[in-house]
A and B are shown apart, each in its own frame.
Chain A
Amino acid sequence: GDSVTQMEGPVTLSEEAFLTINCTYTATGYPSLFWYVQYPGEGLQLLLKATKADDKGSNKGFEATYRKETTSFHLEKGSVQVSDSAVYFCALSDPNAGGTSYGKLTFGQGTILTVHP
């Protein structure tokens, strides 16, 4: 079945450092890929998405490129801020899946990011 593997955390950075959170996936079809962010005590917010190979999703300075050849969707940001401290989830949805898997989001385990001033 589909699966998502994320870089293990926690990740601790100083403000203005470069961020990379690795995400690789396994899917039988051609999935859509997502990054969600969760701030303490809150629900998940969609950060960015990509629906086909070589698409780049971007939002709030974060970027991720859908790489089919390496089955990856790594999250990057050039200069992190203290306010970026949160848990980041990589997820996939296979719109071509049938039966009970249709539309299902498969999540990675999440990566905790802490940014210090």
Chain B
Amino acid sequence: DGGITQSPKYLFRKEGQNVTLSCEQNLNHDAMYWYRQDPGQGLRLIYYSQIVNDFQKGDIAEGYSVSREKKESFPLTVTSAQKNPTAFYLCASSMDSAYEQYFGPGTRLTVT
């Protein structure tokens, strides 16, 4: 089955720790995206990558970092500099940036 996987589904961390969220796709898509979802605010773009070894900041990149060393993988690191990291994080991919995006099941991160 082709799709996007995110792991883990739930993640708990203490304040001050960096944490990395996994996103893998086997759809052979070139473009990948990370979004943050907070209640009542819709989705906001954190980072995106149109090709391997290249990525761009989205609207709320501060306190986050990414890498794109392989086409199928786009991990997101939430650093200790992110002031409000508790949220639902969604990864997406698309054939290229001109096409519709397909989403993974999400990771709910709780930082206390």
Give the residue among B57, B96, B101 with the most A Cβ atoms within 10 A: B101
B residues 43-100 in Cβ contact with A at 8 Å: 43, 45, 48, 50, 56-58, 90, 92, 94, 96-98, 100
Encode contact with A along B15-55: 1 for CB under 8 Å, 0 otherwise: 00000000000000001010000001111010010100000
**Given A43-B90, A43-B106, A44-B103: A103 touches B42 (CB 8 Å cut-off):** no
Specify which chain B residues have a CB less than 8 angstroms from the CB of A105 in the assembled complex: 33, 43, 45, 92, 101
Say whether A104 contacts B48, CB under 8 Å: yes
Say whether A100 contacts B57, CB under 8 Å: yes
Give the residue among A45, A93, A108 with the most B Cβ atoms within 10 A: A93
The verdict on A77 contacting chain B, using a C-beta distance below 8 Å, is no
Min C-beta distance of A110 to chain B, whole Å: 5
**Total inter-chain residue pairs, C-beta < 8 Å:** 57
Say whether B94 contacts A103, CB under 8 Å: yes
Specify which chain B residues have a CB less than 8 angstroms from the CB of A107 in the assembled complex: 42-43
Consensus secondary structure, chain B interface: strand
* Chain B residue with Cβ nearest A94: B98
Chain B: interface residue count, which band?
20 to 34
Specify which chain A residues have a CB less than 8 angstroms from the CB of B94 in the assembled complex: 103
Specify which chain A residues have a CB less than 8 angstroms from the CB of B100 in the assembled complex: 32, 34, 46, 49, 93
The verdict on A69 contacting chain B, using a C-beta distance below 8 Å, is no
Say whether A103 contacts B103, CB under 8 Å: no
A43 touches which of B45, B50, B96, B103 (Cβ 8 Å)? B103
Specify which chain B residues have a CB less than 8 angstroms from the CB of A18 in the assembled complex: none
Say whether A109 contacts B105, CB under 8 Å: no
Q: What are 12 A-B interface contacts by the 8 Å CB criterion?
A: A36-B103, A42-B106, A43-B104, A43-B105, A46-B101, A46-B102, A93-B98, A95-B97, A102-B97, A105-B45, A107-B43, A108-B42
Chain B contacts to A: CB under 8 angstroms? 4, 6, 31, 33, 40-43, 45, 48, 50, 56-58, 90, 92, 94, 96-98, 100-106
The 5 closest A-B pairs by CB, nearest first: A103-B97, A43-B103, A95-B98, A44-B103, A107-B42
